[in-house]
Every structure is written in structure tokens, then in C-alpha cells.
């Protein structure tokens, strides 16, 4: 039986976007199954009392340069959006709606690109609707679905589960009983999958 890598992600995180361009190949090369796990990063911050980088002047100044540097290194298309941070609640609820259409992975890649490459404000329903139409999901159905309590509850439950498992940021990956946090730890995840530590 192959190992399973659980990939906790939120569209608002630039390092998670970069990790999303790498994680599939790492799992494929290692013979691991990849499970995409949408959750709400802001909900985690609120629960554990963590400050987002945007609220720390010295940190965000550095990170804006670092995002560009890391994206270039991994050859990921990247344009820092005019709107930052993204209110990702609607788009993250949308991941569960997309999963019902068996389009979770395609949807996730598209939303990451919409925000981190094209700078689309995915918090706006009309723009989110346009974005989901690109992956073959009916926008009217989608926007109605993400407003339903069942979908809201799914995102809340997944976020609470992430907190219970020790998640404090994104991206976070789990394999076996090991947790790996951050795009810069994907190499350690890969080594672990390959039995190297």
C-alpha cells in the first residue's frame, strides 16, 4: 500500500501556491498518494492567536522579496497581487463544492493561478464565478452551493481538524505520523518518502 500525503492548503498563502506547483511531482516520483485538504488559514490564526505576516511591517517587507525569489527558484509564475491578503473564505468553501463535481485538484490549481499569477480578487462572487467557469463548473450552481450551511460547516470542520492535528500555518503536510510545514520543507518530505530520513 502506498503512503498518503495530506496537503493542507489555503489560496491566500503564497508559499502554499508555490508548494502546489511542486507537490504532485514529489508524490508521483515517490509513489505516494496525494490528498488535497482545504482549510481556512485565517481561522487557524484566529484560534491559536497567531499574527499574519501582513501585520508585522519588518516581516512583510522581507517576505515580499522572498516570495519573488522563491518563485523564480522553482520556476513558478508569480505576480504579487495588488490586493493582499486575500479573504479566501468563499474560494476555500468552493473547494468542497468543486470536490462534489470531482474537480477539486483542477479547481485548486486554477484558483491559485487566478490569485497569485493574475491577481484576481477571489473574494468577489462575480470574479470567483468567472474563475470557476474556466474549469467547467457552473457559476450559478457554485455560488449558490458555497452559501449553503453544509458547505460552510465542511470548511469549519476541516479547519478545526487541522488545528487539532497541530496545524499552525500553510502549507502543512502529513505523512504517517509526521508533520512537515512550509514550502521549504518539501525536500524533507521527499526524503522521508524515499526512506532517507
Percentage of residues of the chain with pLDDT beyond 90 = 89
Domain positions in the chain: 4-193
Which residues have a catalytic role annotated? 13
Spatial neighbors of 31 by CB under 8 A, at least 6 apart, are 2, 3, 193
Q: Which residues pair with 13 in a beta bridge?
A: none
CB 71 within 8 A of CB 78: yes
Q: Half-sphere exposure of 24 toward its Cβ, with a 13 Å CA cutoff? A: 9
CATH hierarchy code of domain 4-193: 3.40.30.10
Q: Where are the beta strands (DSSP E) in 13-144?
A: 33-38
pTM: 0.95
pLDDT by residue (tens digit) across 3-48? 999 999 999 999 999 999 999 999 999 999 999 999 999 999 999 9
Amino acid at each position: 500500500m502506498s503512503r498518503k500525503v495530506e496537503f493542507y492548503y489555503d489560496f491566500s498563502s503564497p508559499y502554499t501556491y508555490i508548494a502546489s506547483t511542486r507537490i504532485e511531482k514529489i508524490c508521483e516520483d515517490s509513489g505516494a498518494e496525494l490528498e488535497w485538504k482545504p482549510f481556512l488559514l485565517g481561522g487557524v490564526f484566529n484560534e491559536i492567536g497567531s499574527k499574519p505576516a501582513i501585520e508585522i511591517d519588518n516581516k512583510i517587507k522581507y517576505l515580499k522579496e522572498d516570495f519573488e525569489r522563491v518563485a523564480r527558484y522553482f520556476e513558478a509564475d508569480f505576480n504579487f497581487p495588488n490586493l493582499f491578503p486575500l479573504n479566501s473564505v468563499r474560494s476555500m468553501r468552493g473547494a468542497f463544492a468543486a470536490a462534489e463535481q470531482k474537480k477539486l485538484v483542477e479547481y485548486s490549481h486554477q484558483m491559485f493561478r487566478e490569485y497569485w499569477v493574475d491577481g484576481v480578487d477571489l473574494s468577489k462572487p462575480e470574479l470567483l464565478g468567472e474563475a470557476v467557469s474556466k474549469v467547467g463548473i457552473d457559476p450559478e450552481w457554485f455560488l449558490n452551493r458555497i452559501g449553503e450551511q453544509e458547505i460552510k460547516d465542511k470548511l469549519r470542520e476541516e479547519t478545526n481538524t487541522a488545528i487539532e492535528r497541530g496545524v499552525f500555518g500553510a502549507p502543512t503536510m502529513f505523512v504517517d505520523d509526521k508533520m512537515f510545514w512550509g514550502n521549504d520543507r518539501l525536500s524533507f518530505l521527499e526524503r522521508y518518502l524515499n526512506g532517507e530520513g
